[in-house]
Amino acid sequence: MPTTENNSDRKKLYAKLFAVQRDAAPLKKNGYNKFQNYKYVQDEDVVMAARALFLEHKLLVVPSVVSRATTKMSGYSKDGTVLKESVLTEITVSMRVADIETGYSEEFQFTGDGYDSTDKAPYKAMTGARKYALMSLMLIPTTDDPEKWGDNGHTEESGPKQNKPVHPEDTDRGKIITEVNRIETELSQGNMSKRRNSRKKYGVKDAGGKPTDDFTDATTDSLAEYLTVLQKKEAANGQ
């Protein structure tokens, strides 16, 4: 039976995962498969988004392979020609998420498949499993156009493509942090060190009035003021 201490630590971990899901913004499908004609979310975009959010909320993610199965497959083309033998790799990965402030962790398992005629099948399976795992942990939606998504998670009517502004007087902390994360990522090209320096430079403060680069400690008012600064920088850069 879980101890009281474990229950407390579990609640803290779940609260942080909730914050990650609250702050996650939709990801655009920047990848394109020309052979099968479809768009997809690129692995590097998922990793960049996840890395920023997990670091922000002081969560450590450790992946590991639980199981792997390989099946050799062959087939025929329409004219009866024997096709080159391919390999299907099915993989199960574990993503252990740890709260670095308490040391408490929990494990989540996800699966992925990779199909290839060379030795790339296991890597494709691992990449797919990791991407699915991170997107599931962040509960992040995908879209051809993230600007069509409203703050309530529903798509809006089609219209001119422009970022829906979040105003400083809007005290919904989740909306402010989501917009700050979006602009920070664009301006810094995903560099977390630049993002943290920017927060201290432009006035993100804790309840005691001290500069902080941690949104967990930051006051909503200082985040709103920081958002105003970022919006001006974004407009000046023509983004």
- Which of residues 143, 174, 208 is at a domain's end? 143
User: Span 136-149, mean pLDDT?
Assistant: 63
Question: pLDDT tens digits, residue range 38-71?
Answer: 788 888 888 888 888 898 899 999 999 999 888 8
87 lies in some domain: yes
Would residue 152 count as lying in a domain?
no
Provide the 10 A C-beta neighbour count for residue 173. Answer: 17
160 found inside a domain: no
The SS3 of residue 44 is helix
Distances (CA, A) of 176 to 53, 92, 168, 211, 220: 14, 36, 8, 18, 8
Give the best-scoring range by mean pLDDT among 71-75, 125-129, 186-190: 125-129
Read off the pTM.
Answer: 0.57
Question: What's the pLDDT score for residue 99?
Answer: 96
Q: Domain residues for 71?
A: 4-143
Q: Does residue 173 share a domain with residue 124?
A: no
Task: Clarify whether residues 30 and 121 are in a common domain.
Answer: yes
Per DSSP, 76 falls in state B
Residue 158 placed within a domain = no
DSSP state letter for 147: G
Same domain, 177 and 93: no
Are 174 and 113 contained in the same domain? Answer: no
Encode pLDDT of 199-215 as tens digits. 888 888 888 888 888 87
Shared domain for 116 and 193, answered yes or no, is no
The tally of domains found in the chain comes to 2
Check residue 150 and give its pLDDT.
41
pLDDT tens digits for range 12-22: 999 999 988 88
- Domain-located, residue 155: no
**For residues 67 and 91, is the Cβ–Cβ distance under 8 A?**
yes
Give the CATH number for residue 36. 3.30.390
List strand residue ranges (DSSP E) for the chain, in order: 27-28, 31-33, 38-40, 59-73, 86-99, 105-116, 142-143
Count how many Cα atoms sit within 13 Å of the Cα of residue 140 in the half-sphere of its side chain.
28
Name the pairing type of β-strands 86-99 and 105-116. Answer: antiparallel
- Do 73 and 186 sit in the same domain of this protein? no
In terms of domains, do 128 and 47 share one? yes
Query: Are residue 109 and residue 222 in the same domain, yes or no?
Result: no
| 77 and 177 fall within a common domain | no
